[in-house]
Amino acid sequence: MKADHDAIPDSDPIELFDSWFVEAEASEPGFANAMALATATPDGRPSVRMVLLKGHGSDGFVFYTNAESRKGGQIEANPHAALLFYWHGLGRQVRVEGPLSEVSAADADAYFHSRPRVSQLGSAASDQSSPLDRRQTYLDRVDELDRRYEGQEIPRPPHWTGFRLLPEQIEFWLDRPNRLHERRRFSRAGERWTSTLLYP
């Protein structure tokens, strides 16, 4: 069996992610930035959930959340995480691993106030991951905040913030016929990336 060219080039992984992401936005609008975020407790108990990518580039991958939530507590205790993007229509997957750091207050403010007002209210009213007696309690809190800040800007809660994952490893996976898939892993040492193909 003769191999064709490597479809995952040995190139800059950030630029490669950018090009794949642009294609995903075109093929899967509304879902391209959905990613699984895996965190763990200090004793290694994992936890995973879907979040939305809100920024990416050479300085890392950014998402926003309530720092007092379950994932926020895990990030505080163990500031390392893994991300997974899966674009079914393209037959592509990207895994990203690295340490996390909090975005600046100015960045968190800017993104919070770029969201629809009802989303801002929902975030401000939520004690994310805490027990809730009934859904109406949460909706009542949203309504109360809406009345309190009628005609005013909703202040960003100090615990609502963003995190930036600085990639140390990025792995690209490409679906191939007959499950003869293609994988390439990039590893960072300082500012330099090296890569290797992996068996699927």
Please identify every residue annotated as catalytic.
179
Contact by Cβ (8 Å): 110, 160: no
Closest CA to 87 of 56, 53, 138: 53
User: Which positions ≥6 away from 102 have C-beta within 8 Å?
Assistant: 67, 161, 162, 163, 164
The upper half-sphere exposure of residue 15, i.e. CA atoms within 13 Å in the direction of its Cβ, equals 5
- C-beta of residue 188 within 8 angstroms of C-beta of residue 169: yes
Cβ proximity of 10 and 186 under 8 Å: no
CA 163 to chain centre: 9
Burial class (CB in 10 A: 0-12, 13-18, 19+), 115: middle
| CA gap 89, 24 in Å, rounded | 8
